[in-house]
Amino acid sequence: MFTGILINKDESGYRASCEQIDEALLPEGEVTVRIDWSSLNYKDGLAITGQGPVVRRFPMVPGIDFAGTVSDSRDPAWQVGDKVVLNGWGVGEAHWGGLAQQARVRGEWLVPLPAAFSARQAMAIGTAGYTAMLCVQALERHGIVPDSGDILVTGANGGVGSVAIALLAKLGYTVVASTGRSSEAAYLKTLGASAIIDRNELSAPSKPLGKERWAGAVDTVGSHTLANVCAGIRYRGAVAACGLAQGMDFPASVAPFILRGVTLYGIDSVMAPQLVRREAWEHLGRDLDPAKLEAITHEIGLSEAIATAGQLMQGRVRGRVVVDVNR
């Protein structure tokens, strides 16, 4: 038996509970992992609260990432005792995930725990930080350098936004943070933001083209915000889009793309191939300030995950939440 969060949906309704689970119920997979740490992401909040159609089969253990130690393996790439990290691959949605003390997964979904990080630090980064790194890499590959101009980060208080700010600042970029919580301005500046703007500047319908303000952007919000971000990007700039906190729609025009040569990069962290994942984690080990990482992280026990998921969906959680699955 092991402890985990279990989501069920039946005639009694949709519910999540923290309970004892029989090991015999673990899904198919070549590698069994004793989980040391997990984290709580926006998608996990949707899954636990039922506010979005994230879970695709029931019962489901949520948790889109985890870090732990291999306890059994039928995959020659992994040996008992190996330290591993998992992000995405539908885990916590279609395959039992990381908000539990054990997981069984396909070996190809795992990457080695980087030597630069402990398991806790890897989950402080988690899917959110790994996604932020993919966004930053997209802007770098586009040719945007610190001298190109300001970089906008929307949803700045969230996990992706917080890590993106810390990464960009460490790399020498001037970062503008967009947030709906003006009370968090000091926090965002400690991460490296040079200026703060209210999210209301970007969240309403606007013109197809606006003033050229930013060389690039990391957008975690979508909808009108993403449309306004694209409309304010400088000539031949770029936007890395990875989220939909405001909505999945994109009420924009082609004007920024054909008149200013703006590029919109879609960032997929869930199904990214191994090479891309390993490169992102390697860069995180080099470019992320451990002190900044600790500043954006707070810790909860597994028994607190359900209540914290509700707070997350209410916009009352900032930065990263790591989950000690053993308490």
* pLDDT tens per residue, range 285-324: 999 998 889 988 999 999 999 999 999 999 888 889 999 9
Which residue segments constitute the domains of the chain, with CATH numbers given? 2-113+296-324 (3.90.180.10), 127-266 (3.40.50.720)
Per-residue model confidence (pLDDT) at position 24: 96
pTM of the model: 0.90
State residue 309's pLDDT score.
96
Would you say residue 183 has pLDDT above 90? no
pLDDT at 254: 97
Question: What are the residues whose beta carbons fall under 8 Å from the beta carbon of 275, sequence distance 6 or more?
Answer: none
Is the pLDDT at 200 greater than 90? The verdict is: yes
74 pLDDT more than 90: yes
What pLDDT score does 8 carry? Answer: 96
pLDDT band at 81 (very low <50, low <70, confident <90, very high): very high
- CA dihedral (324, 158, 245, 94) in degrees, to 10, reads -20
- Mean pLDDT, to the nearest integer, of 22-26? 96
Render pLDDT for 237-295 as a digit per residue (tens, 0 to 9). 999 999 999 999 999 999 999 999 999 999 999 999 999 999 999 999 999 998 889 98
Q: What is the pLDDT of residue 182?
A: 80
Q: In what order do the strands lie in the sheet with 193-198?
A: 193-198, 175-179, 151-153, 214-219, 233-241, 263-266
Instruction: List pLDDT tens digits, range 86-144.
Output: 999 999 999 999 999 999 999 999 999 999 999 999 999 999 999 999 999 999 999 99
Q: State the pLDDT at residue 69.
A: 98
Distance CA 321, CA 41 (A): 8
Residue 206 confidence class, pLDDT cut points 50, 70, 90: confident
Contact 320, 297 (CB under 8 A): yes
pLDDT of residue 135: 98
Query: In the chain, pLDDT over 70 holds for what percent of residues?
Result: 100
**Quick check: 134 and 276 in contact, CB under 8 A?**
yes
Mean pLDDT of the chain: 96
Strand boundaries in the chain, DSSP class E: 2-10, 13-21, 31-40, 65-73, 83-87, 102-105, 110-112, 151-153, 175-179, 193-198, 214-219, 233-241, 263-266, 297-301, 320-324
